[in-house]
A = this chain, B = another copy of it.
Amino acid sequence: MRKVWRLSELVERFGGRAIGEADIRQVAPIERAGIAELTFVTHPRYRRELELTKAAAVILNEALHDATALPRIVCANPAAYFARVVALLNPEPTPRPGIDPSAAVHPTATVPTSAHVGAHVCIGADVAIGEHAIIEAGCVIGDGAALGADIHLYPNVTIYHGCDIGARAILHSGVVIGADGFGLAFEDGRWLKIPQIGRVVIGADVEIGANTTVDRGAMDDTVIGEGVKLDNQIQVGHNVRIGAHTAIAACTGIAGSTTVGRQCRIGGAVRIHGHLTIADGTEISATSVITKSIDVAGVYTGFYPFEAHRDWLKNAAHLRHLNELVKKIYELEKRVDHLQRHSGQK
């Protein structure tokens, strides 16, 4: 592994232009970056931090290119540029190819010699694993599942039977793909299970955070589009479809049969009801509850703002009487209209 990179080498590799020169060993946040450390700035509001930083060099955009005298790389998208530099300076160790002797791999499963299968992994019948796949310890892959090339399953991921995960997908620990959707019929005071016979189909370049769950479809499949990024502890109900390159922050839940568009940005702890359609490019603020389809892209929000508890007690109590209050306002309006008419002042 290379230990030091020069700014000029980075520019050669990733583009942009270097102003000045510096040796870079690592990246760091702007407020604590020091010797041989590279940082980045995306927004003019960090001008002050930029003046104070002790970084060896900075990545910034054209608008800020002369806001510092430090050695720097000027480029169109400092955050994306930075992502590439972080990856270059911190190459992930690649686990050795091969199947750990403690793994239980069904004889009908296809595991290429380039793949890494960790300790205590269990791979079912007719599973197909792509080249260079990394399946860490304790993962369980159900019968007939297909995992694309270069996927990375962190420890203790569970994939149910028949699910299909695209190339380069990253699934973090505790993820469960393809558990049964919540399909029930009520009869004579009891719930009857409706077997869930769909699958989960996940596109290429998807990342799924720790302990997120994606249920299999009832009859059709649940579909996560290419490039979708799901954070931790997200729940995706059966038959949900999420369009390509949509990003969803932690703890969000999407109820069954909802279709989320492409390139949406959905905040954390958002709740989206079932059977809705969310337009491409929609942004939803964290903690909002979405109860109706959104046809027009835009930013949508809905949650109760916090305040001191004693104030909340006073204010929130009125919500249960809001309808009466509104009636009272309209009534007052009528009475004032009447008064004005009869006082000859209107």
Contact = CB atoms under 8 A, between A and B. Distances in A.
Contacts of A138: 120, 122, 138, 140, 156, 158
A215 interface: yes
Contacts of A155: 122, 140, 142, 158
A263 B189 CA distance: 7
Interface stretch (A4-12, A63-71, A80-88): A80-88
A179 B268 contact: no
Contact of A304 (B27, B205, B286, B302): B302
A42 to B, nearest CB: 9
Contacts of A52: none
Contacts of A143: 93
The winner among A263, A283, A284, A303 for most chain B CB atoms within 10 A is A303
Contacts of A119: 104, 120, 122
Contact of A211 (B79, B176, B342): B176
A179 B209 contact: yes
A35 interface: no
B253 A269 contact: yes
The winner among A80, A93, A235 for most chain B CB atoms within 10 A is A235
Nearest to A88: B195
Interface in A63-120: 77, 79-80, 82-84, 86-87, 90, 92-93, 100, 102, 104, 118-120
Nearest to A29: B219
Contact of A289 (B245, B304, B340): B304
A207 B233 contact: no
A218 B90 CA distance: 12
A98 to B, nearest CB: 13
Nearest to A283: B309
Contact of A300 (B174, B227, B309, B315): B309
Given A237-B250, A269-B253, A307-B301, A321 B315 contact: yes
A268 B250 contact: no
The winner among A300, A315, A320 for most chain B CB atoms within 10 A is A315
A86 B195 contact: yes
Contact of A325 (B231, B232, B299, B326): B326
A43 interface: no
Contact of A235 (B232, B291, B317): B232
Interface string A225-248: 001010111010100000001010
Interface string A264-294: 0000110101000000000111111111000
13 contacts: A27-B219, A79-B194, A82-B185, A118-B122, A122-B138, A156-B176, A182-B250, A189-B263, A253-B268, A285-B309, A287-B289, A303-B316, A316-B319
